[in-house]
Every structure is written in C-alpha cells, then in structure tokens.
Structure 1
Amino acid sequence: MKTIASCVERIIISSPFLEEGLSRQIINYSALAKDLNKQISEMLKKPVKDGAIMMALRRYHQPITIGNSNRLTKAFKNLGDITVRSNLSDFTFQNSKSLIHNHSRILEKISDNHQIFYAFTRGIFESNIIISTSEKDSILENFKKETQIGFQDKLSAISIYLPKGNSKISGLYYQIFKQLAWENITLYEVVSTTNEFTIVVEDHLVDHAFSIIKRLKD
C-alpha cells in the first residue's frame, strides 16, 4: 500500500541531488513539501497536505545500514594512490572482425613504453580506446580501415587504487559519483578493474575532480 512516506522515499532515492541536499540539511522542508505535493498527490490519487509531506521528509533516513556505513568510511580512509595522467585522447570505433587485430598491433607497439596510458573497452556495438595523445597518429594509421564514431582530445585520467574487498561494499562507486556530480564534474569516460577505478574528464576539470576525490580520504 502506498503511503506519503513511501512516495517521499521513492522520490528521494531516485534523485541523488535531493538526497544529498537533505543529508546536508541545506533544503527548506516546507518549500520542498509544496514542490512535491502535486507529484505525491498523483501517485496516491488523492490530495495530500503539505504538512504531512514535510513530516515524511523530516523522518526520512538514508537506507544505509550502520555496518555498511562503517565499511564505506573505512574503505575511503584506505584508498590507495591517486594518479593523474594528462594529454589523453579518446577514440570510438564501430566493432568489426578486424578491430581486435588492430588493437593487438597497438599493444605490441607500446608494450615496452610504460609512460603511455592505454585503455581499451569493447561494448556490444562499439569499442573505445583512451591513449596518450602522442600515439594519435599511430591509432589513426592502424585503424584507418575501421569506422570511427567519435574522437575527443584534451582529456585527463584520475586513477584510484581501491582497497581489497571493495566489490563487497555497496554504495562505494555511488558515493564517488555523487560527490563528483554534486560539484558539477562531468565524466567523459569511466574505466575500472577489480582494484582500480579510473575516471576520464576534460582537462579543465581535472584539478577540481582531483581535489574532490582526495577529500574522500579525509
């Protein structure tokens, strides 16, 4: 059975900015209750009072158990090195039978140069390559027979070494994404392995993004 409280919870959970604002106590409950009145009335198919919505807002608590909250806090305290790499370019190609072969040729070329950043992601219909811009001509030459869908340069990557067991902690990535979104940081790409997490942003955002992620450890 739907109630005002359940409707409020559903709206807040689906609105990360709203949830963050409430947790920081920077949102006026009365004004928010008025703003949500029409939506909640439609959900319940009957008129509701602003006061009842305001009470539900005050009683709302984020659905994170104390145990998981402690695990999140410990995980952020134990974040490893944060590495920044600049001068990156992003290429997107349509998948084909020859794409992996071209990919292997690039890997062979750069295998002995540990200064080059390289990340390859294959999706269902397209594949993405993020690489140091110094290798731009090499990519264009080796993939010249492929269908290029997109390109972006002037990118930087921020890589975070995550503590072991991070995959068992619910909400870890969500907290990182939420902090970045709250500060209006647009993510161009996201790449992850078991214990490493990398975000790619445009150059003009990298300093701000780095400071936000570093703050998570404090």
Structure 2
Amino acid sequence: KRLSDDLEFRATHKILKVLKNIGEITVRSSLTDYTFLASDKILVHQAKLLEEINNNQDVFYTSSRGVNEINIVISNVMDKTVERLFKDEKCTQKAEELSSITVKLPAENVSVPGIYYFIFQRLAWEGIVLYEVISTTNEFTILVNDEQVDMAFKTIKDLKSL
C-alpha cells in the first residue's frame, strides 16, 4: 500500500509539473463538424477542399481518418463548399455551433503517462461533452458546443495553477 501511494504521488507530481507548463490556449468559434463514411473518392474531394481552403488562410480546418470514416472540422463559412464538394458522400453526422480549444503542451508531455486522462477527467467532472479530440505530438484540440466553451476553457486554464 505504501509503495502504491508513493508511486501515485510521483506520477501525479509529474503530471502537475507538465500541466503547470501548458502553453498557449487558443479558442475558435463558428465551427462545423462533419463525419463521412470512407469511400474510394473521398480523398479526391478532400484534396479539392484543401485547394479552396488554401485561398482563405482565416479558415480553421482539421481532419482525421479512422478505419471506416473521415471527420472534418471546419469554419462554418465553408459549409456550403463542404456540402457541394462532398454531395456524393454519405454524411453520417453534422454538428453545428461548435467551438474548439487548442492547447499547446510542453515537449515532456510524451514521456509522462496520464496527462490526457488527467485533463479529460477534469472536463468530465464539469459535465463538458467532447464532440471531438484531435491531437498532434505537442498539442491537442477539443471540440465542444458553444454553450460549454467558456467552462471548458476555464477548466483547462485552471489546470496551470494546480
């Protein structure tokens, strides 16, 4: 029991050290989340979308591909473009009036287990529903509905002062 408590303390201490060094937190609003079934032509449509986004640097865009579906999160000013380009694809979900919170993590986040668990646990305790979680090595983005973005931002920001 004593060894278990000591290990838990050390692990939590490492997590808190990383969280104190959270970098920039960026909030974006007016986003739409699309989910399409994967198809033979969906990447062609996605390439055309990227060409159109390239002309407008103010557009937020992120995409992820699973085994059976592709997810696109994009500024809602591009909704008509997405719907035109993907009209032949099977859209299984469209969620509107979403906001994203992007968090830059310190480089040591990859060597400390439990960082994401700790963050997502706090968000869950506040009753925040995560529509999507998108991550790279040193940052992650969560997608929440507009009504919960303020609480989600505060919850993540407060982690720096634990």
The one-letter amino acid paired with 2:115 is: L
Q: Deviations over 1:106-156 (max 9, x none)?
A: 111112422111011111111110000000000000001111111010000
Q: Deviations over 1:39-95 (max 9, x none)?
A: xxxxxxxxxxxxxxxxxxxx9x76854433222111111100000000000111110
Residues 1:98 and 2:31 aligned together? no
Which fold has the larger relative contact order, with Cα–Cα distance below 8 Å and residues 6 or more apart in sequence?
A: 2
Q: Which is strand-richer, 1 or 2?
A: 2
- Length-normalised TM-score, structure 2: 0.93
Residues 1:215 and 2:158 aligned together? yes
Q: Partner of 2:36: helix, strand, or coil?
A: strand
Residues 1:165 and 2:119 aligned together? no
Q: Percent identity, aligned pairs only?
A: 43
Q: How does 1:35-74 map to 2 (within 5 A)?
A: 64-74=7-17
Could you tell me which of 6, 14, 18 is aligned with 1:75? 18
Aligned to 1:177: 120
Could you tell me which of 93, 97, 101 is aligned with 1:154? 97
Q: Partner of 2:117: helix, strand, or coil?
A: helix
The one-letter amino acid paired with 2:158 is: R
RMSD: 1.7
Matches of 1:104 and 1:149, distance apart in 2? 20
Q: Partner of 1:212: helix, strand, or coil?
A: helix
The one-letter amino acid paired with 1:68 is: A
Change (3 A) 1:63 1:100: farther
The one-letter amino acid paired with 1:88 is: L
Matches of 1:102 and 1:62, distance apart in 2? 53
Aligned to 2:85: 142
Q: Partner of 2:118: helix, strand, or coil?
A: helix
**Number of matched pairs:** 160
Residues 1:119 and 2:57 aligned together? no
Could you tell me which of 74, 78, 81 is aligned with 1:131? 74
Q: Partner of 2:160: helix, strand, or coil?
A: coil
- Length-normalised TM-score, structure 1: 0.70
- The runs of 5 or more residues in structure 2 that have no matched partner are none
Matches of 2:7 and 2:134, distance apart in 1? 26
Matches of 2:82 and 2:32, distance apart in 1? 10
The one-letter amino acid paired with 2:42 is: L
Matches of 2:154 and 2:12, distance apart in 1? 22
Matches of 1:136 and 1:63, distance apart in 2? 52
Q: Partner of 2:92: helix, strand, or coil?
A: strand
- The runs of 5 or more residues in structure 1 that have no matched partner are 6-58
* Structure having the higher Rg: 1
Could you tell me which of 134, 138, 151 is aligned with 1:191? 134
Matches of 2:52 and 2:144, distance apart in 1? 26
The one-letter amino acid paired with 1:198 is: T
